[in-house]
Amino acid sequence: MTPEHLPIEQYDAQLAEKVARLQSMMAPFAAPAPEVFRSPTSHYRMRAEFRIWHDEDDLYHIMFESQTKQRIRVNSFPAASSLINALMPAMLDGVRDIPALRHKLFQIDYLTTMSNQAVVSMLYHRKLGEEWQQHAEALRDNLRAQGFNVHLIGRATKTKIELDQDFIDERLTVAGKEMIYRQVENSFTQPNAAMNVHMLEWALDATHGSKGDLLELYCGNGNFSLALARNFNRVLATEIAKPSVAAAQYNIEANEIENVQIIRMAAEDFTQAMNGVREFNRLKGIDLKSYQCETIFVDPPRSGLDADTVKMVQAYPRILYISCNPQTLCENLETLSETHNVSRLALFDQFPYTHHMECGVWLTRK
């Protein structure tokens, strides 16, 4: 039985275990009791990926059990959004009897929004061409006739065929204000939309009354940058992935936000620029010295912050740190706690029924 299929009644017990585990991990840093944010217990995942299993005339979605690697047929997936659950059988019905769509189809990826939009990516172990596109267009039109606001994409080695577009626009109400977030297929997006709203509102509350400007590393599509912009004079944010930067620029315009500047560069490179180690063409025309950044926000990958970036982050009076891996957060805190106190701690149950935890800390200089 996969974690996603655990009975819902086990949710409270598993969440309590996560709270206890996080408190134990954070005890060496004199952290306060965590503020705990519960997830919806079903239909919380806005994206899901499934392998496709071909069985004579039939085909169906499958997943692999994480430890035994046992193949599990998935007819419905309660963890995923209602839209994903509705699309799953509709997609299979649409490709089952169409050789051009079915042949060597090995995976289907679903990305949806709370605003009821979807991008579905079909992955193949063969070349895709005009025949595939014609049948995929017919499938898309049939899905839309059924009421699905869906866009289809075909992927194969060195090939990507978009029907219409490769993005959808999410709309979230954050602390009373509607935010528009463009989400691009095959790029990082927050998987649990309800929990994302909790994280954004917690971050807004933690930084309420902040002075000066905000520096953000790893900004993605501007998810936090744009929500936090209302608490700061200006926001300077960095991101290395080109599609995410393009989405962030669109989101700035769509939300009519005028005080956010996005720079496409790695956090490690930006650290070198801030430390005067190197000069970068991408920073020409940007007066870094004009920014009065008293707060820095980081949401790094699972590996956490590298040693140089940790040292750079220490220079800021206030640090907002969102972590998808409390273990590497604690490793970073071994250094950060030399100069800062953990003033607030939050547990965001981004991944119910799994061992994974997402958490946030608000650090203030000693």
Q: Measured between alpha carbons, how far is 18 from 170 in angstroms, rounded to an integer?
A: 29
Q: Say what the alpha-carbon torsion angle 34, 37, 39, 44 is, to the nearest 10 degrees.
A: -110
Helices within the chain (DSSP H only): 11-26, 82-95, 99-102, 130-145, 193-206, 223-228, 242-254, 267-274, 307-313, 326-336
Exactly one of 185, 216, 293, 324 is catalytic; name it: 324
- 261 among annotated binding-site residues: no
- 110 among annotated binding-site residues: no
Give catalytic status of residue 358 as yes or no: yes
Of the CA atoms within 13 Å of residue 27, those in its CB half-sphere come to: 6
Buried b (16+ CB within 10 A) or exposed e, 333-365: beebbeebbbebbbbbbbbbbbeebbbbbbbee
Exactly one of 170, 216, 358, 359 is catalytic; name it: 358
- Residue 169, token pair as written in the block: 């626009």
Strands, sheet with 340-348, edge to edge from the N-terminal-most edge strand: 35-37, 340-348, 358-365, 318-323, 293-298, 213-217, 235-239, 260-264
- 190 among annotated binding-site residues: yes
What is the total residue count of the chain? 366
Q: Which residue type sits at 83?
A: L
Q: Measured between alpha carbons, how far is 235 from 315 in angstroms, rounded to an integer?
A: 17
Instruction: Quickly tell me which residue has 């079909």 as its tokens.
Output: 122
- 291 among annotated binding-site residues: no
Q: Which residue type sits at 24?
A: S
Q: Measured between alpha carbons, how far is 54 from 181 in angstroms, rounded to an integer?
A: 36
Question: How far lies 272's CA from each of 200, 305, 348, in Å?
Answer: 29, 14, 32
Q: Pick from 179, 244, 221, 203: which is nearest to 348 by CA?
A: 203
Give catalytic status of residue 201 as yes or no: no
Coil, strand or helix: which one is 220? coil
- 299 among annotated binding-site residues: yes
Catalytic residue numbers, as ranges: 324, 358
Binding-site sequence positions for S-adenosyl-L-methionine? 190, 218, 223, 239, 299
